[in-house]
Amino acid sequence: MTAPSRVAVAPGSCGAAVAHKMRSYMPTILVIDDNPAVGTALELLFGLRDWRTVTALSPQEGLRRLASERVDLVVQDMNFTEDTTSGEEGVALFRAIREIHPDLPVILLTAWTHLESAVELVKAGAADYLAKPWDDRKLLATVANLLELAETSGAARRLTRESRRAGDDLRTRYDLRGIVFASGAMARAIGIACQVARADVPVLVTGPNGAGKERIAEIVQANSAVRDGPFVVLNCGALPSELVEAELFGAEAGAYTGANKAREGRFEAADGGTLFLDEIGNLPLAAQVKLLRVLETGQFERLGSTRTRSARVRLISATNADLRAMIREARFREDLYYRLNVIEIAVAPLAERPDDILPLALAFTGQRAVLTDAAREALLAHEWPGNVRELKNAIERAVLLCRDGRIEPADLGLAAARPPRPREAVEEPDRAAIEAALARSRGVISQAAADLGLSRQALYRRMDKLGIGGN
């Protein structure tokens, strides 16, 4: 048996990295090695985990196997011709597999004589490599993690495809006001907005500042029966409390200091259309009482007037506050809350919908500049506490500061990445930390180890100790 080689893993996976046997099917592993003894040894080893093994003695036979049956992972040698040690055949095979199956995990068994070739393949998409003769426990742990990660990744890709189809369907059927999104979370929020738009009921949009609540309100308006009417916006948090009622309901001349002439309020202005009340949690209690009356009767009086007026208005409100907690603290009326919250649409923070980050960034950039790969990585790594508004501002800054139309990470002005933890603090990471690191690295052992401040060997030992990748 030739010196068993070293294993490199191709990614295409995300999610938890803990392998288990509770699968709906028996995973199939393809071993491509010109030495039959290698295939036999691996078939016996993998059989201990109830993994099915098929073998091929040449790259050509291996590719035929891939074309004719479902394979979940490939273990391939680097040399197939006698007295050949360059690793070129293995490189060519890996690239052929990658071209046909870009997400299929591939493990390279490599000898030290062609370690350099394996390293190059890691850069090309492989995630790890194992040397012949291999360590059975390490190989089993690597394969188990890759199978689990590949399964999770497949589910994630299916969800992505479903989200994309849902987004395309929404764009075809509704007026989305040009909103940019790719995440399932945003597609669901927009879908609810479109679904309830035709119903003449109040809508409450919840979510953090800058997440896109007003865009959701615009979509409701654009697809409603009053889409041709006015869309009037009032930020309840941007006005002094003593002026909120005047802004909502209007005021007669002399109603308050500085009121030199009569003025209509936002309800009158929105008659026959939509009134969007942002930051509704900041509405004073006195104004809440009057707002409740308008919602119940459609009638109101201007400040300083006894004349009753009426308006037909579709009301949409938004808040980043916990209104239920405010009710318990007697800062928000419970009866008003239930009038406003006939339909609630929750907008997730940008950090919880990472699929939206790059499409939004590209939309904000337009044709003015190009995002480098490093800039894209920086955008995806940032936590975005200011949500879409922060992202837009970062892109605007970068467009102004970048050179030669190429946006680099420094141009974005994002907070520096968190410094690595001290070595002593990560010598013994727990199961959760390891699984999280594996998920972040998409199964790339070397990246996960670096994230944890460990060597690859130390990470493997810790995984073995904790049973990660084991039974």
We report the CATH number of the domain holding residue 86 as 3.40.50.2300
**Does 200 share its domain with 333?**
yes
**Does 335 share its domain with 198?**
yes
- Which residue did the predictor score with more confidence, 12 or 278? 278
pLDDT digits (tens, 9 = 90+) for 313-351: 999 999 999 999 999 999 999 999 999 999 999 999 999
The residue among 385, 412, 439 that closes a domain is 412
**Does 334 share its domain with 250?**
yes
Shortest CA distance to 126 belongs to which of 5, 41, 34?
5
Q: Which range marks the domain in which residue 224 is found?
A: 188-347
**Does 343 share its domain with 372?**
no
The Cα 289–Cα 310 span in angstroms is 16
Query: Does any domain span residue 183?
Result: no
Query: Does any domain span residue 445?
Result: no
**Does 229 share its domain with 361?**
no
- The CATH number of whichever domain residue 308 belongs to comes to 3.40.50.300
**Does 358 share its domain with 340?**
no
Query: Does any domain span residue 440?
Result: no
pLDDT digits (tens, 9 = 90+) for 237-250: 888 877 888 899 98
Average pLDDT of the residues in 363-388: 93
Domain count, the chain: 3
Query: Does any domain span residue 378?
Result: yes
Query: Does any domain span residue 470?
Result: no
pLDDT digits (tens, 9 = 90+) for 265-323: 999 999 999 999 999 999 999 899 999 999 999 899 988 888 999 999 999 999 999 99
**Does 196 share its domain with 337?**
yes
**Does 95 share its domain with 48?**
yes
**Does 107 share its domain with 252?**
no
The residue among 412, 431, 456 that closes a domain is 412
Query: Does any domain span residue 205?
Result: yes
- Residue 418, pLDDT above cutoff 60: no
The residue among 131, 155, 179 that closes a domain is 155
**Does 64 share its domain with 206?**
no
**Does 202 share its domain with 340?**
yes
Query: Does any domain span residue 83?
Result: yes
Query: Does any domain span residue 168?
Result: no
What pLDDT is recorded for position 471? 37
**Does 308 share its domain with 216?**
yes
